Amino acid sequence: MGFRRSTVFALLAAASLAGCSGEDVGQLPAVGAQMNETTVSGISSGAYMAGQFQIAHASIVTGAAIIAGGPYGCAESAFSGMVIGPFATMLNASKAISGCMQNSMAAWGVPNAALLADKATERGADGKIDATADVLTDRVYVFSGTKDRTVAPAIVASAVEFYRRLGVPDANIRFVSDMPAGHAFVTETEGATCSTSDQPYIVDCDYDQARDLLSHLLGTIAAPSQTAQGRYVTFDQRPFGEDRNRSGMADTGVVYVPDACRGGGCRVHVAFHGCAQNRETVGNAFVEQTGFARLADTNRLVVLFPQTVVTGNNPQGCWDWWGYTGSEFLTREAPQVRAVAAMLARLAEKAN
């Protein structure tokens, strides 16, 4: 049944995007955005990517929301540095599945947050990422559903401990762990029954997760508009990254630009989808049903939805949190991190 349902979603998504093949795919617009006040969020692999982008570019990111994901660097095997190429990736993948999701191998244990924080600090000192001191003033939102059978609560809780070990004050951390949600992005009215963990991984728990996380990351925000009033712009991602087989990035991404942001001065929120949740797989479900656009309308916020692609070494279209794009996946030089940073730089250019 799960396979059939996934297949149906894939076919519907393909049909939807094929039907939109006449959609305008142009350049990512320059809107004079405030790049130095960027916030990020993500679910599942997107949660790991949100954390990786935040830590790599801590000087421009002011907050991160980690939904159903663990701490930065969780999947890096202690042995991966002893081998090269695909062997290192295989070691990391094993660690990712068994030690950063369901913790099914007792040998891995719960992620060592103190060790991961120390490694991040070392990378910052080496210049591979921004100095971790820049993270200390960030706001952090972390979420774990009680019905999530994909990423264990203890794994998600270790993300909270990671930020504490870095020195982020408890007052800056919001940890929501008492909601009967499955492995999914939670909404007030959209999606399947709350406990569901299936495509498109959007569930109705009578809880506006987008509003809650943005309220925590940005401070007091205005109520959302009734319907999205701005523009969803489909843009060419290829100028921002390497070949899709190398970077894992799709040819196109989406950005939502409220009318009030066309003239500049708005902040940017980057929303990273999860595995099997990109446009190629579920159409625009994550882009349009998560509630970010209506909040963007009333809070001068541009929302960037970068997209992955399904490839042979990444059949679920996950973000790279275990090194399938290369050993630098936890640094500023990671292909996906560089691509998203370049997109932000473009959005920050002076509006035409």
**Which entry of 134, 138, 148, 297 is annotated as an active-site residue?**
148
Q: Is 44 a catalytic site residue?
A: yes
d(CA 57, CA 330): 11
Please tell me what DSSP assigns to residue 29: P
Strands 34-43 and 61-67: parallel
d(CA 313, CA 213): 32
Q: What is the C-alpha end-to-end distance of the chain, expressed in Å?
A: 50
Count of all residues that appear for the chain in the document = 352
Phi-psi label, residue 320: left if phi above 0, alpha if psi -120 to 50, beta otherwise: beta
User: Could you tell me where the beta strands, DSSP code E, fall in the chain?
Assistant: 25-26, 34-43, 61-67, 139-143, 173-176, 185-187, 192-193, 202-204, 231-236, 252-257, 267-272, 301-305
Query: Quick one: which of 185, 187, 170, 172 has its CA closest to 219?
Result: 172
d(CA 237, CA 223): 31
Q: Is 183 a catalytic site residue?
A: yes
Determine if the peptide bond prior to 200 is cis (ω within 30°): yes
Q: Give the C-alpha distances (Å, rounded to integers) separating 307 from 130, 153, 249, 319, 331.
A: 24, 27, 6, 9, 19
**Which entry of 45, 158, 183, 320 is annotated as an active-site residue?**
183
d(CA 139, CA 19): 40
- Rg (Cα) of the chain, in Å, rounded? 19
Backbone angles phi, psi at 42, to 5 degrees: -170, 155
Q: Is 148 a catalytic site residue?
A: yes
**Residues designated as active site:** 44, 148, 183
